Amino acid sequence: MNDERPPPPDEPERPKPAFAPLGMPPAPPIRPRAGDIIHTGPELAVGEADVRSAERAEVVTGTSLWRDAWRRLLKNKLAVFGMIMVATITLASITGPFLIKQFTGLTPHYIPTDIAALKSLPPFTATDGSFSWLHPMGTDNQGRDLLARVLQGGQISLMVGIIATLMSLIIGVSYGAVSGYLGGRLDSLMMRLVDVLYSLPYIIIVIVLLSMFRSQTARGQLILLFVALGSVSWLTMARIVRGQILSLKNQEFVLAARATGVSTPRIIFWHLVPNTIGPVIVYATLTIPTIMLTEAFLSFLGFGVQPPIASWGSLTTDGIQNIAIFPWQLICPGVTMGLTLFSLNFLGDGLRDALDPQMRKV
Amino acid sequence: MLRFIIRRLIITIPTILVVITITWGLIRLAPGNFYTGDKALPEAIEQNIREKYGLDRPWHEQYLRTMGQILRLDFGTSLRYEGKSVNEIIARSLPVSATVGILAYLLALIVGITVGSIAALKQNSKWDYASMTLAMLGISIPNFVLGPILVLFFSLTLYWLPPSRWDGFPSKSVILPVITLSAIYMAYIARLTRAGMLEVLRSDYIRTARSKGLSETQVVIRHALRGGLLPVVSYTGPALAFLLTGTVVVESLFVLPGLGKYFIQASLNRDEPLILGIVAFISMTLLTMNLLVDIAYGYLDPRIRQ
């Protein structure tokens, strides 16, 4: 008859696209190429088709992409470690400063009134040198509690990482999806632009941008930082999404949408983009640590967040000034940041292995 | 091959112009000027300064003049380091940056490839897990945290190495900056080598080589490494870009008189000719290196040429 019939479910494995469209039955194993005439309906007896689709639906719910990925993720010890660490640190950063204030009355900006406490205390030490639980990470030069500062710095660092990643996500996904779906000359033009931008020493441009437009307020500088970091980190995302869209756009569900008169923007953003979510999540998870690292790097150079706002990067930088005498001022924020990035990287790697075994590269 | 090179060149030259234009535009669009300080200048003085630096001309004239200068590789005179030409500053600081950068990259290649190959050959062993965890640590710890920790340990506790000074290439002062800079590449290269080697070791031609009766050493060195290192070669381009940001940090950290240090100073001082000169120089170097890497890759892997 023809070779477009879906195979019986018990047939041995055939190559499948990496991502079955969400909520759709898996694509037929042999994808129609452009120009192929797509046979529909009549060849398949109605009853037969119903039985088949029912059987297949069962198979699909049995090992849905997400459940499968979740199972694989849980098997990966390092990824689970990363997930737990990320969750713990995020939770601690959000609730920590509040809890510390409740229990000890210390805030990240509280400078003690007692003159004896106006110095940097080592971790777990009271003003008279005896053991104390009051400052588990010690205090900074002005006697401010370092734990509270590190946790609040975590809020800022994580926020920069997440917001800038969201920005890069929005730009990258739209750009890649439009480029991939529309194709043709526009696609090659858009991708050529990405190639050019790729080879720019973007960090240099970010430094020039941040130093020239240095904002007078700390909040303004933070917003500038989001914009600067978000607008330079969408390139890889655009490429990944474009690749996904290219492999999806010739499938039946797109054809069906087109045939029923769905508008092009709606096809791109309602039908195609949700199907690229797997690789997008993976790459976004790996973008967060990169952006946090860049933020820390910019703060180190003095172009990042400005006081009174502190991030892990700026706390570490403050710590570097006093490394010889008060090493904990560097080590506490530095190690916290390192641990977070480490966990996020492991989580991202684990997600990649779980969600997209084909992407396993680095 | 020639067409491939020409096509790459056609992209490269406009890219350099784009970088310089963006930088120039950012400097000019930003509020204020290099001579604006805390105090407002008297009208007449401001007028004189604007005339002296040609700021009273229409913007397109200034732009074309700047571009013309840069295309002739004459970057003008620094505004802050009065009387020093930008070319002179670059010529003096480049050897410092290049020494640290090249040594760091070599160290990273040697250690990274060795560790990555061992991890791949003993996949899922203790060695593999240990080295990959270490590599992940290398990627996650920012170099400005690693650097001071190394200083704390080797300089301030053991008194072995100087914490921050520059005595030129064959001296103890090179060691800490180079290690700090190379840590992240080491980690990346180790991961890339491991991934590349794992892929190659499973391929048919390695099985053929083994079944021919070659010794394991020969299989690895003569056959597997060649294919397994392709990802490392293609990483050279991004690595150079990383090297750039890395050197900026390392030079600030260890107070080395390199290009990155001058660039940061110039950005803070709003020293336009120096910023533009360094940006132009860095982009040219970077893009030339990228071009060379592409060409090398084209030779190694003919598939990517078209």
**Rg from Cα positions in chain B:** 24
Give the whole-angstrom CA distance, residue A274 versus residue A151. 35
| Contact residues, chain B, for A199 at CB < 8 Å | 11-12, 15, 286-287, 290
Statement: residue A3 has pLDDT above 60: no
Burial class (CB in 10 A: 0-12, 13-18, 19+), B249: buried
User: Of all helices (H) and strands (E), which one includes residue A312?
Assistant: helix A312-321
Structure tokens at A29: 């194993």
Region A157-176: what's the mean pLDDT? 90
Residues whose CB falls within 8 Å of the CB of residue A180, separated by 6 or more in sequence, listed in order: A187, A241, A242, A243, A244, A245, A246, A249
**B148/A204 Cβ within 8 A:** no
Which 3 state secondary structure label does DSSP give A125? Answer: strand
| pLDDT for res A27 | 42
Å from B157 to nearest chain A CA? 9
Asked if A351 and A73 count as a contact pair (C-beta separation under 8 A), the reply is yes
| Contact residues, chain B, for A341 at CB < 8 Å | 139-142
Interface of B with A in 172-211 (CB under 8 A): 188, 191-192, 195
The ipTM value here is 0.78
Give the whole-angstrom CA distance, residue A81 versus residue B253. 32
Pick the residue with more confidence: B42 or A253?
A: A253
| Contact residues, chain B, for A346 at CB < 8 Å | 136
Residues whose CB falls within 8 Å of the CB of residue A9, separated by 6 or more in sequence, listed in order: A55, A56, A59
Give the whole-angstrom CA distance, residue A241 versus residue A356. 14
Read off the pLDDT band of A33 (50, 70, 90): very low
Nearest to A296 among B142, B241, B279 (CB): B142
Q: B146 to chain A: nearest residue by CA?
A: A334
A286-325 confidence digits (pLDDT tens): 888 888 888 888 888 888 787 788 888 888 888 887 777 7
Q: Could you tell me the CA-to-CA distances from B121 to A64, B151, B219, B220, B249 in Å, in that order?
A: 34, 35, 11, 9, 35
CA neighbor of A331 nearest in space, from B183, B246, B152 = B152
**B151/A330 Cβ within 8 A:** no
Nearest to B192 among A192, A204, A362 (CB): A362
**A208/B267 Cβ within 8 A:** yes
Read off the pLDDT band of A39 (50, 70, 90): very low
Interface of B with A in 38-57 (CB under 8 A): none
Mean of all residue pLDDT scores within chain B: 80
A241-278 confidence digits (pLDDT tens): 888 888 888 888 888 888 888 888 888 888 888 888 87
Q: Does B119 touch chain A (CB under 8 A)?
A: no
User: Of all helices (H) and strands (E), which one includes residue A90?
Assistant: helix A77-104
Query: pTM of the predicted model, to two decimals?
Result: 0.76
Give the whole-angstrom CA distance, residue A315 versus residue B144. 12
| pLDDT for res B87 | 83
Give the whole-angstrom CA distance, residue A237 versus residue B235. 18
Statement: residue A9 has pLDDT above 60: no
Å from B257 to nearest chain A CA? 16
A330-359 confidence digits (pLDDT tens): 888 888 888 888 888 888 888 877 776 555
| pLDDT for res A59 | 46
